[in-house]
Amino acid sequence: MGFIDLSGALGRQFGSIGLALNEIYTQLIIQRSDQFRVFGKSATRAERCAKSLCLKLDLPKTFQIEVTTAIPEHVGLGSGTQMALAVGLAINGFFDLGLKVREIAALTARGRRSGIGIGVFERGGLVVDGGRGENTITPPILSNLKIPENWRFILVFDRRGQGLHGKQEVSAFKKLPDFPQREAARFCYLLMMQGLPAVVENNIINFGDVISQLQQSVGEHFASVQGGVFTSAEVNQAMIWLKKNGAVAIGQTSWGPTGFCAVDDPARAELLKDGLEQQFSGSENLHFMVASAKNCGGEVIAE
Same domain, 156 and 287: yes
Alpha carbon distance 9, 280 (integer Å)? 43
Give per-residue pLDDT as tens, 237-292.
Answer: 999 999 999 999 999 998 889 999 999 999 999 999 999 999 999 999 999 999 99
Same domain, 92 and 181: no
* Residue 9 resides in a domain: no
Question: How far apart, in Å, are the Cα atoms of 17 and each of 8, 124, 185, 209?
Answer: 16, 12, 15, 14
Q: Which of 142, 166, 193 is the last residue of a domain?
A: 142
Q: Which of 127, 142, 157 is the last residue of a domain?
A: 142
Task: Output the domain CATH number for residue 84.
Answer: 3.30.230.10
- Report pLDDT for 183: 94
Same domain, 232 and 119: no
Alpha carbon distance 134, 120 (integer Å)? 23
Task: Output the domain CATH number for residue 224.
Answer: 3.30.70.890
- DSSP-derived pairing of the beta strands 37-40 and 63-69: parallel
* Residue 207 resides in a domain: yes
| Statement: residue 173 has pLDDT above 70 | no
Same domain, 163 and 237: yes
Same domain, 46 and 174: no
Same domain, 235 and 286: yes
Same domain, 61 and 129: yes
- Report pLDDT for 277: 97
What band does 170 get if pLDDT is binned at 50, 70 and 90?
low
The two most distant CA atoms of the chain are separated, in Å, by 58
Q: Which of 110, 142, 174 is the last residue of a domain?
A: 142
Q: Are 57 and 97 in contact (CB under 8 A)?
A: yes
Same domain, 208 and 272: yes
